[in-house]
């Protein structure tokens, strides 16, 4: 299986190569929570860089439920032209763009000032940082129905605006992932208990989205291979969910792992000096290739061409990259001429894993802001500088978001 060979997906569409830009939380919405000029320029950089598939950062299905104040929201056709331009720019070089749809559940910062919903009224355990997130209210059956319909509505709008597909985010501790976790979901009704009950909302969302958009539009799922918490969503649970997804005409399954409480998606527990540091969910994916009937994508730490080939040789169809493409947006084109290109962000060696994870994300966002302004990346940026500037910008965005929500409520 070759890196630059085409991949035909179950819906009949064809990706030009096996390299995908995985979702990153760009936080570049404009004042209306619509795609900004900066965000569109950023995706133009990736499109021109030759990546076969771009999966957007979080697009929220409800402006009252955000992962951050700068997130894009798609609830209606109010800003249709900006979404159409985003899709058009991303598709202009022959690649595809799929919109990642998400609801944060309890992983919504308390600073946003909005009520928080979750499967159960259980606060997150982040030690001294637990106060950054409010204790959620347990969702009612009506809340669940509303969320399900919002996923469908956002998917239909994405299709209408020219996106090639959607990805339903059920990983990294967000709402659908919370339903899957026996730690976060302690419901005793039909949406709790066994893995069949905990997976019910995800299966209902996927089924409803597929029915709404038809067979030709891409539908993907992002799933944790495990959440790396004792007593949490396990590899056996992941296998069971994949078997439930098999008959639902899913075009792509992306495997990742972790949550805010256990940020395995950052790979912070791995040794930066080893090859195993890259593609650190590959071992889980290899086990699931024997179960999954849809193409698999593995994301997490990939930044070298030999590792991409290792991923593909294992039977995984797509190699997803995030940080590597934030550092080197034209990495696919560069690899065609120089297989030794090796993007690397400065390592964060702090002992506090929560702070290290926050610093890493801030460093990635620093690269994205530079790329959106037409500048080169700055992979050696100081973690302290990136984190402080991100926190200051976040406070300003939080205040603007709260003011905007008050205006809408008024």
One-character DSSP codes across 180-194: H-TTT----STTSSS
Average pLDDT over residues 77-91: 98
Average pLDDT value for the chain: 91
Decide the pairing of beta strands 72-73 and 117-118: unpaired
Q: Kindly state the DSSP code that residue 128 receives in the 8-state scheme.
A: G
Q: Kindly state the DSSP code that residue 133 receives in the 8-state scheme.
A: B
pLDDT of 282 reads 76
Q: What is the pLDDT of residues 362-404, one digit of tens each?
A: 999 999 999 999 999 999 999 999 999 999 999 999 999 999 8
Q: How far is CA 347 from the centre of its chain?
A: 22
List, in order, residues 6 or more apart from 311 with CB less than 8 Å away.
Answer: 279, 282, 285, 298, 302, 319
Q: What is the pLDDT of residues 13-24, one digit of tens each?
A: 999 999 999 999
pLDDT of 225 reads 77
CA distance linking residue 284 with residue 234, whole number of Å: 11
The CA distances from residue 293 to 207, 236, 241, 299, in Å, are 16, 17, 12, 19
pLDDT of 267 reads 44
pLDDT of 265 reads 47
CA distance linking residue 287 with residue 214, whole number of Å: 30
Residue 73 zone, left/alpha/beta (φ > 0; ψ -120 to 50; rest)? beta
pLDDT of 138 reads 98
Q: Are 136 and 209 in contact (CB under 8 A)?
A: no
CA distance linking residue 376 with residue 31, whole number of Å: 26
pLDDT of 137 reads 97
Q: Are 65 and 117 in contact (CB under 8 A)?
A: yes
Average pLDDT over residues 146-169: 98
Enumerate domains of the chain plus CATH numbers.
7-409 (3.20.20.70)
pLDDT of 269 strictly over 60: no
The structure tokens 């159960």 sit at 120
pLDDT of 289 reads 86
* CA proximity to 341, closest of 390, 307, 313, 383: 307
- The helix/strand/coil state of 206 is helix
CA distance linking residue 48 with residue 71, whole number of Å: 24
Average pLDDT over residues 335-353: 92
Decide the pairing of beta strands 53-55 and 7-8: unpaired
Backbone angles phi, psi at 268, to 5 degrees: -70, -15
As given in the structure block, the two tokens for residue 43 are 């995706």
Average pLDDT over residues 152-179: 97
Average pLDDT over residues 262-290: 56
Average pLDDT over residues 275-304: 79
Average pLDDT over residues 244-268: 75
- pTM score, whole prediction: 0.93
Q: What is the DSSP string of 259-311?
A: -SSS-GGGTTTS-TTSGGGSSTTHHHHHHHTTT-SS-EEEESS--SHHHHHHH
Which one is predicted more confidently, 269 or 199?
A: 199
pLDDT of 65 strictly over 60: yes
């Amino acid at each position: 299986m070759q890196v630059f060979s085409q991949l035909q997906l179950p819906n009949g569409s064809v990706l030009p190569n096996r390299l995908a830009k995985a979702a990153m939380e760009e936080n570049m919405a404009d004042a209306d929570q619509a795609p900004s000029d900066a965000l569109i320029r950023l995706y133009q950089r990736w499109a021109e860089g030759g990546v076969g598939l771009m999966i957007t950062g979080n697009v929220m299905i409800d402006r009252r439920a955000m992962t951050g104040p700068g997130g894009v929201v798609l609830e209606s056709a109010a800003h249709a032209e900006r979404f159409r331009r985003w899709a058009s720019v991303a598709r202009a070089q022959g690649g595809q763009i799929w919109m990642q749809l998400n609801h944060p559940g309890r992983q919504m910062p308390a600073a946003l000032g909005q009520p928080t919903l979750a499967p159960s009224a259980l606060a997150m355990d982040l030690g001294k940082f637990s106060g950054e997130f409010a204790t959620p209210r347990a969702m009612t059956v009506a809340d669940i129905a509303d969320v399900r319909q919002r996923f469908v509505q956002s998917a239909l709008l994405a299709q209408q605006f020219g996106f090639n597909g959607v990805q339903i985010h059920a990983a990294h501790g967000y709402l659908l992932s919370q339903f899957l976790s026996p730690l976060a979901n302690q419901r005793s009704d039909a949406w709790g208990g066994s893995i069949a009950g905990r997976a019910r909302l995800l299966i209902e969302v996927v089924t409803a989205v597929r029915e709404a958009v038809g067979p030709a539009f891409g539908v993907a799922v992002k799933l944790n291979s495990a959440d790396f918490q004792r007593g949490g969503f396990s590899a056996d649970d992941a296998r069971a969910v994949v078997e439930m997804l098999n008959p639902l005409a899913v075009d792509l399954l992306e495997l990742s792992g972790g949550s805010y409480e256990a940020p395995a998606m950052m790979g912070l527990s791995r040794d930066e000096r080893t090859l195993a540091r890259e593609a650190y969910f590959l071992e889980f994916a290899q086990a699931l290739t024997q179960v999954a009937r849809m193409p698999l994508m593995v994301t997490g730490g990939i930044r070298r061409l030999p590792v991409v080939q290792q991923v593909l040789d294992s039977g995984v169809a797509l190699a997803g990259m995030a940080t590597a493409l934030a550092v080197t947006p034209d990495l696919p084109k560069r690899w065609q001429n120089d297989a030794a290109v090796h993007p690397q962000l400065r390592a964060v060696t702090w002992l506090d894993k929560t702070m290290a994870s926050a610093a890493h994300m801030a460093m990635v966002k620093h690269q994205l802001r530079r790329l959106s302004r037409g500048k080169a990346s700055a992979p050696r940026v100081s973690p302290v500088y990136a984190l402080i500037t991100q926190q200051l910008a976040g406070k300003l965005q939080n205040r603007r978001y709260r003011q905007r929500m008050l205006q809408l409520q008024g």
